[in-house]
Amino acid sequence: MPENRLAQETSLYLRQHKDNPVDWWPWGAEALAAAKAENKPILVSVGYAACHWCHVMAHESFEDEETAKLMNAEFVCIKVDREERPDVDALCMDALRVMRKQQGWPITLFMSPDGVPFFGGTYFPKASQQGMPSFEELLTRVATVFKDQPEEIATHAEAVTAGLTAAAAHDGSGDMTPDVVEEIMLKVGPVADRVSGGFGRGQKFPYTTMLDFLWRNGLRINDTIRQQFVMHTLTQMCHGGIFDHLGGGFARYTVDTNWMVPHFEKMLYDNALIVSTLTDVWKGTGDALYTERIEETVNWVLREMTLPDGGFAASLDADSEGEEGKYYVWDEAEVDALLGTGEDAKLFKSTYAVGPGGNWEGATILNQLGPRPEMTPQNAASLAASRAKLFEAREKRPRPARDEKVLADWNGLMIAALAEAGMTFERQDWLGAAETAYRFVSETMSDGDRLYHTAVGQTSRHGGVATDYANMIGAALALYEATGRQDCFDQARAWERTLADQFWDEERGSYYFTPEDGEALAVRVRGAMDESTPSTNGTMLAHLIRFWLLTGESQYQARADKLLRAFGAEALEQPMGFGSYLASTEFYFHPIQVAIIGRRDQAGTQALVGEVYRAPMVTRVLQVVEPGQKLPEGHPAQGKKQEGHKPTAYVCVGQTCSAPVTSAKSLGHLLAAPASTA
């Protein structure tokens, strides 16, 4: 069978479809021009390389000759990697939202010949089921209506365009205040699952940004109920099947309410966000389980996701050998063959729920959700040895495919997570990996102060979207705090200027998703609702406050003020979609400034910095200056000096600073309750 146009693409997901009998186009001007020239509707199929249901639909429909014949005859068919073209994916996802359709991948979206969405959905089966038409039935209906009732297509397209335009053109109303934050908290409570943790009663996603918000808020006001809910959720995730107990790393979500049965794909962004949240919560709890999961997950990232040039790969597939989860699951006979029947084997099987018949489709997903033995040193050593044996055996299985494209925004999340965790747990190797990945993105994936979104090897493609800049700003600021590298801070400011110049809408006080000089799509998307990753507007609210406090320059505060007012009403209406924005409001209203006067190479300075990283309050801005170096204009510690020529710290809340402290122990006491001691 001849290859189609996707054979020459750099995207692994697109190349997975190069042998389809479908006459696929990659998204671009040529495909859109072909639709206009042939006056055909456009069929856009959006997915990603690790997506199980994307594979299912491909096997059922896109590899089928008869289905492909219908697609080729009636449509211009475009295949989109949602990770490579997040701008197109965002448009498609917002279109489904306007249509009030279920959202998720694969996306199946129909557009008019000029690229305007008019109908869509997600997965469509080969045969009709449960009221859902078969994919071929859907294709036939859409093609017939397009030919016989073009006015109906036009009406639908106009309605979707109006909805997209309205969503993008919010009026900047709905100021966010501390009172509104508490009102939002009352809406979050009813969707919290206090039995299994997480949110909702069906499939479970980590929702780390909402956990971040609850943790920061609960810690600040000493609300133990909120803190305990976050800890319970994270503990359930750490024990559940969503975590890979042999190799480390978390899957994207579980299909059950108890965190046991995952869709087995592992995504870089999920693991970055979970490491960040676990690190923050560890600071307030010291929980050894979180330490273990952070280390195991980072080890997985360094072992399996780090590419030769230092960037991080995007994902591992859910499937191997054509079956979902086959790489990860076990049957009792396999475990017995490896561990035998002695006490060590019995301990492992009882700890990880290994038994006759398995716990998922006849196989066993390893988990610790049931009764757990006392973790004596002897038991811990036995379980570690058993896990190592199973891991070694698993390494010999055919592996899930790795999508090796480097995404600037996802790498930014992981760089920031590794920098924070590396400093918190005194792991220079983690910090070094963060710096290496940062160097790859900032050098290979940059053109001046403009970022590319994706790179495969040394080939970078597709202009950066807003999340690329926001998350790489976060990475640069994290490395600046951790190392004092001025070049990181300068680059963060340069990327912020690009965001301001190309993405910022002064009238509405928020960022678009695509640059002003980028490709023109049906609607230029904007919003603060998180998708699979935190939104730019949610993320930048905190970053702008950090810039303002680190420089004293008012333009950062002015943009942050506008952002705060832009989305309050929407966040109040549907708070679960605004976790990053809400978490950033805690930073906006309650930042803690820590100024340390001392040379970074001094042991005393390093001890003070280490105490800052272990402190429970995470809405902090750390600035280390040498003696005689001035703090920014307006900094509450401006003009303060060292105490007794020793490295000295000041903790400032608002315009009030603590007395000078020179010992790490004293600084730790201050940071445990900064509002009451400053």
Q: Is 505 helix (H, G, I), strand (E, B) or coil?
A: strand
Alpha-helix runs per DSSP H in 597-673: 603-614, 664-672
- pLDDT value at residue 178: 84
Q: Report the chain's C-alpha Rg in angstroms.
A: 26
Instruction: Tell me whether residue 318 is in a domain.
Output: no
d(CA 477, CA 382): 42
Considering the domain architecture, whether residues 56 and 95 belong to the same structural domain is answered as yes
Considering the domain architecture, whether residues 495 and 478 belong to the same structural domain is answered as yes
Considering the domain architecture, whether residues 415 and 276 belong to the same structural domain is answered as yes
pLDDT in tens, 81-115: 999 999 999 999 999 989 988 888 999 999 999 99
94 C-beta neighbours (distance < 10 Å), count: 25
Q: Give the residue from 345, 366, 396 where a domain finishes.
A: 396
For the segment 459-465, the average pLDDT, to the nearest whole number, is 94
CA angle 653, 656, 660 (to 5 degrees): 95
d(CA 430, CA 610): 15
pLDDT band for position 172 (cuts 50, 70, 90): low
CB-neighbour burial class of residue 242 (10 A; exposed 0-12, middle 13-18, buried 19+):
buried
d(CA 294, CA 417): 10
Residue 563: which H helix or E strand, with range?
helix 554-566
CATH of the domain at 51: 3.40.30.10
Q: Is the pLDDT of residue 171 over 60?
A: no
The lowest-confidence range among 168-177, 211-220, 385-394, 666-675 is: 168-177
For the segment 440-451, the average pLDDT, to the nearest whole number, is 96
| Maximum mean pLDDT: which of 114-118, 451-455, 672-676 | 451-455
The lowest-confidence range among 47-56, 621-630, 668-677 is: 668-677
pLDDT band for position 678 (cuts 50, 70, 90): very low
Instruction: Tell me whether residue 361 is in a domain.
Output: yes
- Tell me how far CA of residue 530 lies from CA of 409, 452, 470, 656, in angstroms: 14, 21, 13, 35
Query: Where on the phi/psi map is residue 42: left (φ > 0), alpha (ψ -120 to 50), or beta?
Result: beta
Q: Is the pLDDT of residue 675 over 80?
A: no
Q: Is the pLDDT of residue 677 over 50?
A: no
602 C-beta neighbours (distance < 10 Å), count: 13
Considering the domain architecture, whether residues 75 and 141 belong to the same structural domain is answered as yes
Show Cβ contacts of residue 283 under 8 Å, excluding neighbours closer than 6 positions: 424, 613, 614, 615, 616, 618
Closest C-alpha among 20, 26, 65, 69 to residue 44: 26
One-letter amino acid at 347 equals L
Closest C-alpha among 34, 37, 5, 35 to residue 22: 5
CA angle 95, 101, 103 (to 5 degrees): 80
Mean of the per-residue pLDDT values of the chain: 94
Q: Containing domain of residue 635, as a range? A: 592-677
- Residue 526's DSSP bridge partners are 512
d(CA 374, CA 339): 20
Residue 347: phi, psi to the nearest 5? -60, -45
Considering the domain architecture, whether residues 77 and 114 belong to the same structural domain is answered as yes
d(CA 92, CA 101): 11
Considering the domain architecture, whether residues 278 and 422 belong to the same structural domain is answered as yes
Six-digit token string for 103: 């959202």
Residue 307: phi, psi to the nearest 5? -90, 165
pLDDT in tens, 298-335: 999 999 999 999 999 999 999 999 999 999 999 999 99
Considering the domain architecture, whether residues 22 and 132 belong to the same structural domain is answered as yes
Instruction: Tell me whether residue 513 is in a domain.
Output: yes
- Residue 595's DSSP bridge partners are 623, 650
Q: Is the pLDDT of residue 419 over 90?
A: yes
- pLDDT value at residue 216: 95
d(CA 390, CA 141): 51
Q: Is the pLDDT of residue 338 over 90?
A: yes
Q: How many domains are there within the chain? A: 4
Q: Is 504 helix (H, G, I), strand (E, B) or coil?
A: strand
- pLDDT value at residue 170: 63
For the segment 604-626, the average pLDDT, to the nearest whole number, is 96
pLDDT band for position 626 (cuts 50, 70, 90): very high
Q: Is the pLDDT of residue 1 over 70?
A: no
CATH of the domain at 608: 3.40.30
Q: Is the pLDDT of residue 169 over 80?
A: no
Overall size of the chain counted in residues = 678
d(CA 15, CA 22): 13
Considering the domain architecture, whether residues 280 and 384 belong to the same structural domain is answered as no
Show Cβ contacts of residue 308 under 8 Å, excluding neighbours closer than 6 positions: none
Q: Is 546 helix (H, G, I), strand (E, B) or coil?
A: helix
CATH of the domain at 201: 1.50.10.10
Residue 479: phi, psi to the nearest 5? -70, -35
Q: Is 362 helix (H, G, I), strand (E, B) or coil?
A: coil
Instruction: Tell me whether residue 320 is in a domain.
Output: no
More confident: 171 or 497: 497
In the chain, the percentage of residues whose pLDDT exceeds 70 is 98
The lowest-confidence range among 7-21, 101-115, 156-170, 236-250 is: 156-170
Show Cβ contacts of residue 474 under 8 Å, excluding neighbours closer than 6 positions: 412, 413, 416, 539, 543
- Residue 129's DSSP bridge partners are 132
- Reported in sequence order, the residue ranges of 95-220 that DSSP labels E, i.e. its strands, are 107-111, 117-121
- pLDDT value at residue 173: 62
pLDDT in tens, 552-587: 999 999 999 999 999 988 899 889 999 999 999 999
Residue 148: phi, psi to the nearest 5? -95, -25
- pLDDT value at residue 586: 93
pLDDT in tens, 499-536: 999 999 999 899 999 999 998 888 888 888 998 999 99
d(CA 379, CA 3): 55
- Residue 47's DSSP bridge partners are 81
Q: Give the residue from 379, 396, 413 where a domain finishes.
A: 396
For the segment 650-668, the average pLDDT, to the nearest whole number, is 95
- pLDDT value at residue 57: 95
Q: Is the pLDDT of residue 129 over 90?
A: no
- pLDDT value at residue 149: 94
In contact, 411 and 311? CB cutoff 8 Å? yes
Six-digit token string for 130: 């449960």
Beta-strand pair 42-47/76-81: parallel
- pLDDT value at residue 522: 83
Considering the domain architecture, whether residues 570 and 605 belong to the same structural domain is answered as no
CB-neighbour burial class of residue 148 (10 A; exposed 0-12, middle 13-18, buried 19+):
exposed
- pLDDT value at residue 66: 95
Q: Give the residue from 111, 142, 168 where a domain finishes.
A: 168
Instruction: Tell me whether residue 319 is in a domain.
Output: no
Q: Is the pLDDT of residue 676 over 60?
A: no
Considering the domain architecture, whether residues 96 and 75 belong to the same structural domain is answered as yes
Considering the domain architecture, whether residues 268 and 414 belong to the same structural domain is answered as yes
DSSP helix, strand, coil percent of the chain (3-state; round to 5)? 50, 15, 35
Query: Where on the phi/psi map is residue 664: left (φ > 0), alpha (ψ -120 to 50), or beta?
Result: alpha
pLDDT in tens, 477-496: 999 999 999 999 999 999 99
Instruction: Tell me whether residue 617 is in a domain.
Output: yes
In contact, 416 and 475? CB cutoff 8 Å? yes
Instruction: Tell me whether residue 673 is in a domain.
Output: yes
Instruction: Tell me whether residue 322 is in a domain.
Output: no
Six-digit token string for 657: 């600073």
Six-digit token string for 113: 């010949």
d(CA 336, CA 2): 47
Considering the domain architecture, whether residues 196 and 119 belong to the same structural domain is answered as no
